[in-house]
């Protein structure tokens, strides 16, 4: 024990081993609970199901039983065994519990080096994207190339943009450029940057020590790989442009570190005239800033959609015959468009503008029906 308390590496290895054993025990418990759920092993025990059994015998509530079973289903070898799959060794139960809410494609890109908070950042990004339904985007502009657009979005971070623009202007050789580019985008050797591409949704862009960059499309549950050389060429082209031309907004001012008054200034104020006698200020060594491996998607500033303002039913009860004909024609054209593009609409992400169009159209239909009903009533009178 004394050796562990004096040596960080041995201490860390001991703790990692315990966390690993905890995850393995968790998987085994999940496996046994699945046996109780899926077989007749409880026959004659007096328990009607696994939840009653776990509650009475071990004090486990339904949610705990579900978590044990879910972790076994997702992370055991072959999806049904008492052993943890090799890829998920070293994560620990806390991380695996969060990873239950991520897709297999995204989990495959994670390693035990990702912290619990970093994995939780990914979970929040996925949840944020899932809050958008297929009725949210219809007329949202489709990117000419979704991967190129995702690469461009990695420059939306002002600090990254400044560093990469400077790197691009230096005109370094290809290999040196790529090496420095990877150091900027993945300071710790690996990083996952969440970006949002119009008409596609969130894409997780993973940079690591390999020569492949992975693009995990959250909604489509797909992974696309591109060589780092390709990514470097695209970034180089975008970084030559001004930030405002890329993103439609001004580059935020660079944050400057606050200047701490030096001892020289303090001596000056105290009346000391011979500054040469003042010892040089000893700069306090600061620990290098640890860059997170996961960064959330920047939310671009979007102008609110222009929505047609229409008088309420109370303010305008009647439409002229001409107005009715115009509305009928507009409704017919929209219905024809939606019919012709139904497959596209089902698979794309509907924009806020479409939602507004639908609301406006339904309002028009309602007022048209009410107006015609009023006209019929007047005619009958």
Most confident of 165-174, 240-249, 318-327, 353-362: 240-249
Higher pLDDT, 219 or 362: 219
Backbone angles phi, psi at 317, to 5 degrees: -85, -30
**126-135, 217-226, 247-256 — which one is most confidently predicted on average?**
217-226
Residue 315 has pLDDT above 80, yes or no: no
Average pLDDT on 189-218 reads 94
Q: What pLDDT is attached to residue 12? A: 76
Distance CA 267, CA 244 (A): 46
Phi, psi values for residue 295, rounded to 5°: -120, 135
Those residues whose C-beta lies under 8 Å from the C-beta of residue 231, and which sit 6 or more positions away, are 151, 213
Distance (Å, whole) CA 194 – CA 205: 6
Q: What is the mean pLDDT of residues 59-83?
A: 95
- Alpha carbons 141 and 301: distance in angstroms, whole number: 15
| Residue 115 near residue 295 (C-beta atoms within 8 A) | no
What is the structure's pLDDT at 121?
Answer: 96
pTM for this structure? Answer: 0.69
Residue, of 255 and 252, whose pLDDT is higher: 252
pLDDT at 126 over 90: yes
Give residue limits of the domains in the chain: 2-100, 104-251+291-302, 321-380
């Amino acid at each position: 024990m004394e050796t562990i308390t004096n040596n960080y590496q041995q201490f860390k290895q001991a703790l990692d081993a315990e966390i690993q054993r905890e995850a393995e025990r968790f998987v085994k418990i999940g496996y046994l609970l699945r046996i109780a759920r899926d077989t007749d092993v409880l026959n004659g025990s007096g328990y009607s199901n696994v939840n009653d059994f776990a509650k009475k015998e071990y004090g486990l509530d339904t949610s705990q039983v579900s978590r044990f079973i879910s972790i076994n289903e997702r992370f055991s070898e072959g999806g049904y065994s008492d052993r943890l799959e090799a890829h998920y060794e070293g994560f620990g139960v806390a991380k695996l519990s969060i990873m239950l809410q991520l897709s297999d494609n995204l989990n495959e890109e994670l390693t035990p080096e990702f912290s619990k908070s970093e994995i939780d950042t990914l979970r929040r990004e996925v949840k944020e994207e899932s809050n958008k339904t297929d009725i949210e985007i219809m007329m949202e502009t489709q990117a000419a190339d979704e991967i190129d657009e995702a690469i461009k979005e990695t420059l939306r971070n002002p600090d990254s943009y400044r560093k990469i623009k400077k790197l691009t202007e230096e005109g370094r050789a290809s290999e040196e450029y790529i090496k420095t580019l990877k150091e900027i985008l993945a300071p710790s050797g690996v990083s996952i940057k969440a970006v949002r591409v119009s008409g596609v949704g969130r894409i997780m862009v993973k940079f690591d020590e390999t020569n492949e960059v992975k693009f995990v499309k959250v909604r489509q549950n797909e992974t696309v790989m591109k060589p780092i050389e390709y990514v470097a060429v695209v970034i180089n082209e975008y970084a030559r442009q001004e930030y405002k031309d890329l993103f439609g907004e001004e580059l935020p001012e660079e944050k400057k570190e606050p200047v701490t008054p030096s001892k020289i200034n303090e001596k000056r104020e105290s009346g000391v005239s011979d500054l040469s006698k003042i010892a040089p200020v000893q700069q306090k060594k600061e620990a290098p800033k640890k860059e997170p491996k996961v960064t959330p998607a920047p939310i671009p500033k979007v102008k609110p959609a222009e929505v047609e303002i229409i008088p309420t039913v109370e303010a305008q009860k009647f439409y002229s015959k001409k107005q009715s004909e115009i509305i009928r024609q507009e409704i017919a054209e929209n219905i024809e468009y939606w019919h012709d593009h139904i497959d596209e609409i089902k698979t794309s992400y509907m924009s806020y503008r479409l939602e507004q169009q639908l609301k406006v159209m339904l309002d028009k239909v309602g007022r048209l029906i009410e107006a015609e009903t009023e006209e019929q009533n007047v005619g009958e009178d």
